[in-house]
Amino acid sequence: MIHASRNLSERYSAALAHHLADPDEGILNQAYELGRKALGDGLGVLDIAMAHHSALHAAISDESRAEAMPAPTLAKAAEFLAESLSPFEMSFRGYAETNAQLVIANDNLLQSQAAAEAANRELEAFSYSVAHDLRAPLRGIDGFSQALLEDYADKIDQEGRRHLTFLRESAQQMGRLIDDLLGLSRVARAELCRLPVDLSALARNVAMQLGKAEPDRQVEIVIGDGIGAEGDAPLLRIALENLLGNAWKFTSKRAGARVEVGMMSVEGEATYFVRDNGAGFDPAYQAKLFGVFQRLHSTDEFEGTGIGLATVKRIVNRHGGRIWAASEVDRGATFYFTLGEGTPQP
């Protein structure tokens, strides 16, 4: 920078002296070029002023041998200075223009943001409507099918009663689908609050509730001690409910059902896992595993809506982590997940 400044000063002095001695257009072009180069070198208006000052000073010293510098010479010097400053002037104008464009762009951005927020609110209102408005007719279908079964049992034959039972099952299944979809959208909307979480305690609590819901099931649940994480406790609870719930469900046809929850280090990253010795899945369909409404088992085999693992994946993603699974048919499944930065080292 100092070199560029000195260089400018020397060239400026020479060009100005030339201009004062023999003014023509070519020299003024040179003044413009000097300014342009100075701007390109990162020099400023002050550097030009200094160069001008020292050049003028040199010229006056020369002239002082004769008389003081005459007014026309001063005017010519000023003309030279103005020309050398014009690239800066143009740059400022460009800057002002860019700035004005930025202000407009920023306004547009704010408008888009407001539009996105409005759309989000609309989506929430829509979810609310889905919950309320879609469930009401389902209640009607289920309730009046049941009413027919109760009040007209003697007028409907066995086949008819079977149809009504299917009608009720369908309505209830759709009710569960709506609930799970709403759960998924809540998970996406919920504010994420990262705090230290005792996953061991959380998993034990979830396991206890599974046991309470189906006290006849014999499932050995092994939960490692001191599994710590940093994450959103309510969301992690939903994730564990789904993962443990799946393990519980897919071991239902297994004698000696076993579910394990633990933590290990994979390439230095805390990796949590939920392992079962249940039905497992065909690894060929692994890609579908975490998709919404994707199921790898028929409803006859195992009940479900196909939203649980999509919900878990969303929770893990929201923490900045990853989820994957390893399994073979009839050899159980293990689900692994990480929770992104901030999780303790195992």
Partner 1 sequence: MSEKFILLVEDNPSDEALTLRALRKNNISSPVVVKRDGAEALDYLLARRSDSGGACALPQLILLDLKLPKIDGLEVLRRIRADARTRLLPVVILTSSREDTDLVRGYDFGANGYVRKPVDFVQFAEAVRQIGLYWLIINEPAPTAGNTCPSH
By the criterion CB under 8 A, which residues form the site for partner 1?
A: 128, 131-133, 135-140, 142-147, 168, 171-172, 174-175, 179, 182, 186
> H or E element: which one contains 334?
strand 333-337
Q: Which residue's CB is nearer to partner 1, number 75 or number 125?
A: 125
State in angstroms the smallest separation of the CB of 313 from partner 1: 22
Q: Which residue's CB is nearer to partner 1, number 169 or number 330?
A: 169
Of the candidates 219, 207, 286, 273, which has an alpha carbon nearest to the alpha carbon of residue 245? 207
State in angstroms the smallest separation of the CB of 45 from partner 1: 58
Phi then psi dihedrals of residue 42, to 5 deg: 85, 15
State in angstroms the smallest separation of the CB of 142 from partner 1: 5
State in angstroms the smallest separation of the CB of 232 from partner 1: 15
Q: Which residue's CB is nearer to partner 1, number 40 or number 137?
A: 137
Q: Which residue's CB is nearer to partner 1, number 59 or number 181?
A: 181
State in angstroms the smallest separation of the CB of 288 from partner 1: 27
Q: Which residue's CB is nearer to partner 1, number 69 or number 130?
A: 130
Q: Residues 6 or more apart from 309 whose CB is under 8 A from it?
A: 242, 246, 289, 290, 294
- Contact criterion met (CB below 8 Å) for 204 and 248: no
State in angstroms the smallest separation of the CB of 245 from partner 1: 19
Handedness of CA 118, 124, 128, 133 (dihedral sign): positive
State in angstroms the smallest separation of the CB of 146 from partner 1: 4
Q: Which residue's CB is nearer to partner 1, number 138 or number 240?
A: 138
Q: Which residue's CB is nearer to partner 1, number 53 or number 176?
A: 176
Reduced 3-state DSSP string for the chain: CHHHHHHHHHHHHHHHHHHHHCCCHHHHHHHHHHHHHHHHCCCCHHHHHHHHHHHHHHHHHHHHCCCCCCHHHHHHHHHHHHHHHHHHHHHHHHHHHHHHHHHHHHHHHHHHHHHHHHHHHHHHHHHHHHHHHHHHHHHHHHHHHHHHHHHCCCCCCHHHHHHHHHHHHHHHHHHHHHHHHHHHHHHHHCCCCCEEEEHHHHHHHHHHHHHHHCCCCCEEEEECCCCEEEECHHHHHHHHHHHHHHHHHHCCCCCCEEEEEEEEEECCEEEEEEEECCCCCCHHHHHHCCCCCCCCCCCCCCCCCCCHHHHHHHHHHHCCCCEEEEECCCCCEEEEECCCCCCCCC
Q: Which residue's CB is nearer to partner 1, number 204 or number 237?
A: 237
Q: Which residue's CB is nearer to partner 1, number 169 or number 220?
A: 169
State in angstroms the smallest separation of the CB of 199 from partner 1: 24
Q: Which residue's CB is nearer to partner 1, number 57 or number 139?
A: 139
State in angstroms the smallest separation of the CB of 208 from partner 1: 23
DSSP 259-271: EEEEEEEETTEEE
State in angstroms the smallest separation of the CB of 145 from partner 1: 8
